[in-house]
Amino acid sequence: MSRVLFLLLVMTGLMVTLTSCKSDPERTFSKRDLNDLPQILEQGRLIAITDYNSTNYFIYRGQPMGYQYELLQDLADHLNIKLEVVVSNDLEETFNCLRMGDCDLIALNLTITRERKKKFDFTVPHSQTRQVLVQRKPEGWEKMTESQIDRSLIRNQLDLENKKVYVQQNSAYYNRMLNLEEEIGDTIDIIDVPEDAETLIMMVADSQIDYTVADENIALVNQTYYPNLDVKTAVSFPQNLAWAVNTGADELRKEINGWLEVYRKSTRYAVIYNKYFKNNRSASIMKSDLFTLSSGTISNYDVYIKQYSREIGWDWRLLASLIYQESRFNPAASSWAGARGLMQLMPSTARRFGVSSKSPASEQIRAGTEFIKWLDNRFAEEIPDPEERIKFVLAAYNVGPGHIFDAITLTEKNGMDPTLWHDNVEVYLLKKSDPKYYRDEDVKYGYARGRETYNFVYQVMERYEHYKNLIEDQPLQDS
């Protein structure tokens, strides 16, 4: 699938579910209904909206990555709460999402303008860049000298007179082009379109358009992928890039500012920034079949994952997340306990379902899904909701069904809901490392490392939500 088509197909999502951000744009908040830091901490989650591209948020080799994603994860860790990511590449929708209270924070490379400051508050800068003109080098540029290339390109902003420049709607690039038009005292044919900066960069490289404008750091990353592009011509002074919060979310803004002031001076921040904006491996990542924005794939085994997930009624991206958690898609993986292969089946389970460590990947996935189906049948009576049952099956896959049935028993015995995982059965699974609970007369399977299984379920489900954010469902086509 072409990168353009994939970018058009991949739409909104979030770590749990993306709510609509296109409600009444005129709604304003009172101090009472605004989600400020105390409410966020009480809820135990930070909801941030960002965009999907080759730097901010993407999936590579099954793992969620990105400059904004890693900064947000570190902020959530600092606050000791969970992170939920909302995805949108539409700036109007993004601003509405914050305005309507569907998210707490816009985590983008936002320039701070007078117009935007009327509607939102901004954090201290997380980085700095300048805007550059993205244009195509001339035919045969590989055999030209640098001065020959320069003579065929726009190097003076005055030469943008009557040139057609495509920029993203509602972006700082559009406003900058309007200002530049005034500064040069002549007309620039500014075409504002819904496509984001990276899509427009690709369109320049593919000769669909001649000019666009982008942040220099993003343009340089994309130039490694499209060497026929030139991004040397600046069209702005250096600009601070920041995050946005709702006006009135003063405690949240102050907390983020205090954290950013320290964080930006840290080695950790330098490593993250360099990884995404100064790493020569960017081009190889973007060209990889496992870079989701260009390929739409998660692993080399997607065909088998789609085939066998259909047989158990699971979303293939959920099964992919489980396999990543178990083996990082390594068919030769082995654990200290003797589990082997993509699905990390224990030897007795593998024999039961007819595979060995030498079986091909397709057979390993087939056996793993048969085991999942067996577990699902075990819990069908106790947990009638199939969506809720997934968490119980994941837990049982990790620690065995006996410990999960014990946790169900303890949950019911202590007056909580034995059919719900979150804040109910998971609580008593965690307690199964406490003698008071694993020695209970109704517990049959004794001690369990509940924290390990709790984390397993959470991480599989969290990664699944990232996959849904960025990867189209794309079910296997019937032959």
Whether the predicted pLDDT of 23 surpasses 70: no
Catalytic residues: 326
Token digits of residue 374? 């067996």
What are 47's strand-pairing partners? 84
Burial of 32 (0-12, 13-18, 19+ CB in 10 A): exposed
Looking at residue 3, what is its pLDDT? 38
Looking at residue 337, what is its pLDDT? 74
Question: Pick the residue with more confidence: 30 or 188?
Answer: 188
Reply yes or no on domain 302-470 having CATH 1.10.530.10.
Answer: yes
For the chain, the C-alpha Rg in angstroms (whole number) is 25
Token digits of residue 107? 């985590």
- When pLDDT is cut at 50, 70 and 90, the band that residue 281 belongs to is low
Q: What are phi and psi of 47, to 5 degrees?
A: -100, 115
pLDDT > 90 fraction of the chain, expressed in percent and rounded: 76
Looking at residue 477, what is its pLDDT? 62
The span from the CA of 25 to the CA of 93, in Å, is: 10
Nearest to 364 by CA among 316, 301, 314: 301
C-beta of residue 219 within 8 angstroms of C-beta of residue 129: no
Looking at residue 118, what is its pLDDT? 93
Looking at residue 358, what is its pLDDT? 86
Looking at residue 5, what is its pLDDT? 32
The span from the CA of 417 to the CA of 236, in Å, is: 59
Whether the predicted pLDDT of 227 surpasses 50: yes
pLDDT > 70 fraction of the chain, expressed in percent and rounded: 89
- When pLDDT is cut at 50, 70 and 90, the band that residue 290 belongs to is low
C-beta of residue 452 within 8 angstroms of C-beta of residue 426: no
DSSP assignment letter at 142? G
Do the two domains 3-123+243-295 and 131-237 of this chain adopt the same fold?
yes
Nearest to 463 by CA among 293, 260, 300, 326: 326
- When pLDDT is cut at 50, 70 and 90, the band that residue 14 belongs to is very low
Whether the predicted pLDDT of 20 surpasses 60: no
Whether the predicted pLDDT of 329 surpasses 70: yes
Element housing 79 (H / E)? helix 67-79
Looking at residue 6, what is its pLDDT? 33
Q: Please spell the DSSP secondary structure of 3-20, one letter per residue.
A: HHHHHHH---EESS-PPP
- When pLDDT is cut at 50, 70 and 90, the band that residue 28 belongs to is very low
Looking at residue 193, what is its pLDDT? 96
List CB contacts of 392: < 8 A, sequence separation 6 or more. 379, 382, 383, 404, 421, 425
Looking at residue 95, what is its pLDDT? 95
Looking at residue 225, what is its pLDDT? 83
Looking at residue 98, what is its pLDDT? 96
For the chain, domain boundaries: 3-123+243-295, 131-237, 302-470
- When pLDDT is cut at 50, 70 and 90, the band that residue 75 belongs to is very high
What are 212's strand-pairing partners? 134, 166
Query: From residue 42, how far is each of 15, 46, 86, 244, 333 by CA, in Å?
Result: 18, 10, 20, 21, 40
- When pLDDT is cut at 50, 70 and 90, the band that residue 10 belongs to is very low
Q: Is 49 helix (H, G, I), strand (E, B) or coil?
A: strand
Tens digit of each residue's pLDDT (9 = 90 or more) over 106-125: 999 999 988 899 999 999 99
Looking at residue 297, what is its pLDDT? 85
- When pLDDT is cut at 50, 70 and 90, the band that residue 284 belongs to is low
If you average pLDDT over every residue of the chain, what do you get?
Answer: 89
Nearest to 303 by CA among 327, 320, 326: 320
C-beta of residue 101 within 8 angstroms of C-beta of residue 34: yes
Tens digit of each residue's pLDDT (9 = 90 or more) over 169-213: 999 999 999 999 999 999 999 999 999 999 999 999 999 999 999
Looking at residue 287, what is its pLDDT? 57
Tens digit of each residue's pLDDT (9 = 90 or more) over 406-442: 999 999 999 999 999 999 999 999 999 998 999 999 9
- The greatest distance separating any two alpha carbons of the chain, rounded to the nearest whole angstrom, comes to 85
Question: Pick the residue with more confidence: 158 or 60?
Answer: 158
Fold entry, domain 131-237: D-Maltodextrin-Binding Protein; domain 2 (3.40.190)
Looking at residue 31, what is its pLDDT? 40
Q: Is 216 helix (H, G, I), strand (E, B) or coil?
A: helix
CATH number of the domain at 3-123+243-295, please? Answer: 3.40.190.10
Give CA 391 to chain center in angstroms.
21
Report the DSSP pairing between strands 63-65 and 127-129: unpaired
SS3 content of the chain, % helix, strand, coil (to 5): 50, 15, 35
The span from the CA of 66 to the CA of 73, in Å, is: 10
